[in-house]
Structure 1
């Protein structure tokens, strides 16, 4: 299988870059035999947590959150906590003039978590995923830290399973929750692979805000510490920071319905969008060459629309507000 080149390599920036990536080289030497992986073991019985950052190399908020944990000597009260800096090689290519270009080297690392891809890895991202897979398979609960192209509300994304929903609700996360059924969302995402191996654990993605905003790194740290605390593994002396963004009293739950792809380079949204726009059934969302794309149901909400639509690539997720 040939892997197409990462489409983000041509992107320029129209977003303010408030934070630059930090040097991760002091943390390259992990303690697990894999670079940039650190396992913090309490020596006491308890859950195995994994928190991953840099699934995408330009999403620096997660790296900043993990650095805060390491530099402040955070240790779990029980169980073990494994911190993963995933696509560091892409992260190292960051250019503030073209900050979207460091998303990946060969392909989206959040689409390679499939048995066929991991058995015969044929890209930088797939080979790195193979190295990280044992930690994913061993995790009771997993948090994958991300950020978004546009400055939209932070959000949680998770498979629609009772333990995920219950845990997410107990987080008191005052932003949108997006739920999906396994097999009906993106193929090959990390939390779906974790869900295949988990029995009663939690699989969460936290989208923490716009990629390069200071508040996004604060949001990432806030959700990370709450994730650890809700597992009963955070020392009570560690103060939980405020959320990086103003809590949204109108935030609700959404059911992910489908992901649309652009069939041509002429794909255009009917109006400028950045995410969470809502449409009534039949209302025009976009055009794709000569095709009209209308909302297939009421309360149809756009999630993470593509900044630059590309033929054959994912262009937007449609979700129903519940």
Structure 2
């Protein structure tokens, strides 16, 4: 099949670059025969966890969190913990003048976790996913660490299962939580692939804040350590840092409804947006050439709008805000 190139805006970034990518070469050789994969085995019975970073190469917060775990020699007290630096090839292309360009080499690595793609890998990202797939499929629980283009609230994204919802509650996550029905959101995202193999397991994406901000790396580390701790696998002597960000009135529960793609190069939002803007049913959200795009339901919330919409690509996810956290 023909895969469209990994697209990005080459416009100057307005994201503060407080942290630059670190050299990962010292961690290339893991202990499982796959580059940049480290399995920490306690030798005792317990869950099999995976924490993945760099699904997108420019989202460095997860890499910083994994580096902290490795450099501080964090070991699970039971079970096993596998740490994955995923798209290192893209990460290594980082250019501070074009900081979004290192997102991927050939295609979005969080859209390819499908049998029809991984049975016949034909891009850098699919070949790498084939290497990583056994660890994802065999894990009891998976945490995938990400960051966002705009400075919006951190969030958890997960399939709407009792196990995920209950785990998020135990995590004490005071930020937005976005839930979706397995099979109705993006096909091919990592946590959906994991959830299909571990129906009773936990499958989470943590969006930790804006790319390259110091607070985002702190948020990623807090989420990762909390994830390990809530599985009963973190030594009690290890201190979990505070969240990198303060909670605000966006905290609550959202149901992901659909993804809007830009149909033409003329897709435009009707106002400057960065995420979590809310619209009543019928309010105009965007235009796409001559097409008017209105909110299809009340409490319609924009999630991760594209910085520069590209024809044929995702422009924004629409989610319905269900209730605030203290209303549940």
Normalization by structure 2: what TM-score? 0.97
Pairing 1:220–2:196 present = no
1:46 maps to 46
Q: Give the C-alpha shift of residue 10 in structure 1.
A: 3.4
Write out aligned runs for 1:238-249 (5 A): 238-249=238-249
1:4 maps to 4
1:82 maps to 82
Pairing 1:156–2:156 present = yes
Is the 1:12–1:101 contact (alpha carbons within 8 Å) kept by the matching residues of 2? Answer: no
Distance in 2 (CA, whole Å) between partners of 1:200 and 1:264 is: 41
Distance in 2 (CA, whole Å) between partners of 1:140 and 1:15 is: 35
Write the deviation string for residues 191-245 of structure 1: whole angstroms up to 9, x where unpaired: 0000110031100000000011110000000000000000000000001100000
Distance in 1 (CA, whole Å) between partners of 2:228 and 2:248 is: 23
Distance in 1 (CA, whole Å) between partners of 2:130 and 2:12 is: 31
Write the deviation string for residues 147-186 of structure 1: whole angstroms up to 9, x where unpaired: 0000000000000011000001111100000000011111
Write out aligned runs for 1:1-322 (5 A): 1-8=1-8, 10-322=10-322
Write the deviation string for residues 248-304 of structure 1: whole angstroms up to 9, x where unpaired: 255100000000000001000000000000000000000000000000000000000
Q: Find the residue that maps to 1:194 and give its secondary structure.
A: helix
Q: Give the C-alpha shift of residue 58 in structure 1.
A: 0.1
Distance in 2 (CA, whole Å) between partners of 1:162 and 1:141 is: 14
> What count of residue pairs does the alignment treat as equivalent?
322
Write the deviation string for residues 82-140 of structure 1: whole angstroms up to 9, x where unpaired: 00000000000000110000000000000000010000011000000000000001100
Stretches of structure 2 that go unaligned for 5 or more consecutive residues are 323-328
Distance in 1 (CA, whole Å) between partners of 2:248 and 2:140 is: 30
Q: Give the C-alpha shift of residue 13 in structure 1.
A: 1.6
Q: Find the residue that maps to 1:4 and give its secondary structure.
A: coil
Q: Give the C-alpha shift of residue 11 in structure 1.
A: 4.8
Change (3 A) 1:11 1:93: farther
RMSD: 0.8
Is the 1:302–1:318 contact (alpha carbons within 8 Å) kept by the matching residues of 2? Answer: yes
Distance in 1 (CA, whole Å) between partners of 2:194 and 2:112 is: 13
Is the 1:151–1:209 contact (alpha carbons within 8 Å) kept by the matching residues of 2? Answer: yes
Distance in 2 (CA, whole Å) between partners of 1:201 and 1:140 is: 5
Q: Find the residue that maps to 1:204 and give its secondary structure.
A: strand
